[in-house]
Chains A and B, each alone.
Chain A
């Protein structure tokens, strides 16, 4: 490099080198600008807002110090919301990962019409989550929802329009159904990631294991699971993020109610935005801190998986 530079007339090197340093910016600059406007600036705004005193009408009346945070933390609904958020994320992601392991194994088998069966399971992935949540709300209608019609035929639901048939009216059963919907919409992506992981495992390994007399379960535990680990971990972290940020399911099925009894922190934050933007921002900062932790884990994992792959 220096040889070439020395061979050229000295005058032109400096401006050219300065230009060369700017060249990458011409190519990646627009992307950085877009990220700055849509991601970085909102983070800055959010932090600012969380320390401001803003009336429900949107007028800023000076600094609030830490009062937005203290008010959020003193909110009597918060402990319940936090516990529910942990349950929401942990239970949804755990069930999703377990079911997806089974589904990926199933759809990795050879059977006639596999292509169509695989297309069928992407339906909840392609459709908007909002829409899926609304369909489930309709299917759970106490007076005519198809779930109740079916359970009525089985003799499990005795009467339409009863308290028993009003699945979304009771906080506990509503929450369980919503976790079910969250699992339902998370399965396709997770299954596809695991399926991609399964297909990357060389088949010779299983042949060799068979020759050595390993049972199917043994081969699964000793070969499939360890080799599936990178795919599994990436799917896990992406699911943690998606489920934590999941808003439409709860919003469309119960609006977080009655009261805040089916809210998670995300729904709570959105609800606060309507009246106390400052407190909403404070809640958002708390959420965001958790999100950053998940992102850092993801980035770490990413590097780690790549090093393993080498």
Chain B
């Protein structure tokens, strides 16, 4: 571990032997920094641990004033899949929405990002500005308009999943366009040209050369869109009416009743909703900042 952390900083090379000898024992400063950093880390994770603990609290200990229950009722995590709680159907709906939105974003963003990064044309700047503008907007700001639009077009009666796929794809398009644009821009166009000289069509060159090289960007865009759509709440709340159409976020909300809250199932469903997201997010963590700040930090 010590070796690794040294190599991550380009700065640490020429040091005298005495300094190096002293480094074997962590200095007081390092010890303090480590301690503080770990405390901060625990603070950030704590609420999610509490969520997990509550999800496996046995019914009689739900309102006990202890940090940990005497028994862990792991069966809670199995019983909650019963049809009465609707978690199973919500997972399906959430998968449909997030999956559909991710696919749509890829189909729409990839050509746009490719073309804008390879060609200068009239309206290119206008288009990129439009994309940047939508990145700053959120469904919340437009929710009344979105609700009214889909109501007017009768799309809500059809199946809210389609509407939600559109909304989620639209609001995550900017991130995808931007990050793909940056990745494709870093791949030399000569590689494609060489392939085309060798008899590839343009689409072939795109598929065989550019796309594989831009894969990290594509994966980041896909995961980011999936997570954002999976976690999206306000438009799902506004656009779904029948309980069978609830995605997970709205289902969580529905566990909050006027007089009582079904905390165990709420947090059981939360555990289900969170674990895949944490894993996916850890995979793209290093690349997300670049896409979100739209390349404005060099």
Task: Tell me whether A129 is interfacial, beta carbon within 8 Å.
Answer: yes
Task: Tell me whether B130 is interfacial, beta carbon within 8 Å.
Answer: yes
Q: A24-B123, A114-B37, A135-B51 are in contact. Are A119 and B141 (CB under 8 A)?
A: no
Q: A45-B152, A109-B33 are in contact. Are A131 and B270 (CB under 8 A)?
A: yes
Task: Tell me whether B124 is interfacial, beta carbon within 8 Å.
Answer: yes
- Shortest A52–chain B CB gap in Å is 9
Cβ contacts under 8 Å, A43 to chain B: 142, 145
- Shortest A130–chain B CB gap in Å is 5
- A269 contacts B40, CB within 8 Å? no
- Shortest A72–chain B CB gap in Å is 12
Distance, CA A160 to CA B65, complexed state (A): 9
- B252 contacts A46, CB within 8 Å? no
Beta-carbon contacts under 8 Å, B170-227 to A: 170-171, 173, 177, 227
- B146 contacts A42, CB within 8 Å? yes
- B138 contacts A30, CB within 8 Å? no
- B127 contacts A28, CB within 8 Å? yes
- Shortest A212–chain B CB gap in Å is 17
How many contacts A-B (CB < 8 Å)? 297
Task: Tell me whether A171 is interfacial, beta carbon within 8 Å.
Answer: no
Distance, CA A143 to CA B290, complexed state (A): 44
Q: A114-B37, A197-B297 are in contact. Are A130 and B281 (CB under 8 A)?
A: no
Task: Tell me whether B288 is interfacial, beta carbon within 8 Å.
Answer: yes
Distance, CA A278 to CA B289, complexed state (A): 38
Distance, CA A151 to CA B107, complexed state (A): 52
Task: Tell me whether A64 is interfacial, beta carbon within 8 Å.
Answer: no
Beta-carbon contacts under 8 Å, A107-140 to B: 107, 109-114, 116-132, 134-136, 138-139
B113 to A, closest residue via Cβ: A31
- A305 contacts B296, CB within 8 Å? yes
Cβ contacts under 8 Å, A126 to chain B: 227, 274, 277-278, 280-282
Distance, CA A127 to CA B248, complexed state (A): 13
- A129 contacts B231, CB within 8 Å? yes
A99 to B, closest residue via Cβ: B40
Cβ contacts under 8 Å, A287 to chain B: 141
Beta-carbon contacts under 8 Å, B258-297 to A: 263, 266-267, 270, 273-274, 277-278, 280-282, 285, 288-290, 292-294, 296-297
Interface string of B98-134 (1 = CB under 8 A from A): 0000001001110110111001011110010111111
- A189 contacts B173, CB within 8 Å? no
Interface string of A284-310 (1 = CB under 8 A from B): 100110010011001101100110010
Beta-carbon contacts under 8 Å, A209-267 to B: 230-231, 234-235, 238, 241-242, 245-248, 252, 266
- B65 contacts A152, CB within 8 Å? yes
A106 to B, closest residue via Cβ: B37
Cβ contacts under 8 Å, A27 to chain B: 111-112, 114-115
Cβ contacts under 8 Å, A46 to chain B: 142, 144-145, 148
A160 to B, closest residue via Cβ: B65
Cβ contacts under 8 Å, A182 to chain B: none
Beta-carbon contacts under 8 Å, A149-202 to B: 149, 152, 160, 184, 187-189, 192-193, 195-197, 200
Stretch at the interface among A11-19, A32-40, A73-81, A83-91: A32-40
Task: Tell me whether B136 is interfacial, beta carbon within 8 Å.
Answer: yes
Distance, CA A188 to CA B256, complexed state (A): 27
Most buried by A among B1, B30, B67, B143: B143
Task: Tell me whether B90 is interfacial, beta carbon within 8 Å.
Answer: no
Cβ contacts under 8 Å, B26 to chain A: 112
Distance, CA A260 to CA B103, complexed state (A): 40
Cβ contacts under 8 Å, B177 to chain A: 31
Distance, CA A120 to CA B108, complexed state (A): 33
Task: Tell me whether A95 is interfacial, beta carbon within 8 Å.
Answer: no
Cβ contacts under 8 Å, A132 to chain B: 47
- B142 contacts A284, CB within 8 Å? yes
Distance, CA A196 to CA B230, complexed state (A): 26
Q: A192-B289, A291-B137 are in contact. Are A143 and B63 (CB under 8 A)?
A: yes
- A119 contacts B137, CB within 8 Å? no
Q: A30-B111, A45-B149, A306-B296 are in contact. Are A106 and B36 (CB under 8 A)?
A: yes
Distance, CA A38 to CA B170, complexed state (A): 6
- B298 contacts A245, CB within 8 Å? no
Q: A35-B130, A46-B144, A112-B1 are in contact. Are A247 and B234 (CB under 8 A)?
A: yes
Cβ contacts under 8 Å, A125 to chain B: 281
Of B6, B114, B144, B294, which one neighbours A284 at CB under 8 angstroms? Answer: B144
- B231 contacts A111, CB within 8 Å? no
- A247 contacts B140, CB within 8 Å? yes
- A31 contacts B47, CB within 8 Å? no
Give 20 pairs: A residue, B residue, CB < 8 Å, sorted on A. A23-B121, A27-B111, A28-B111, A31-B127, A34-B173, A38-B167, A49-B144, A109-B30, A111-B33, A117-B37, A121-B40, A130-B252, A131-B51, A131-B252, A135-B47, A149-B66, A207-B11, A230-B296, A269-B144, A284-B144
- In addition to A23-B121, A204-B11, 14 A-B residue pairs with Cβ atoms within 8 Å of each other are A24-B124, A30-B107, A30-B108, A43-B145, A46-B144, A110-B8, A123-B278, A129-B233, A138-B51, A144-B63, A144-B64, A189-B292, A246-B140, A281-B144
Task: Sort A-B residue pairs by CB-CB distance and give the 10 closest, nearest first.
Answer: A38-B170, A42-B145, A46-B145, A128-B231, A27-B115, A120-B41, A126-B281, A203-B11, A31-B112, A309-B298
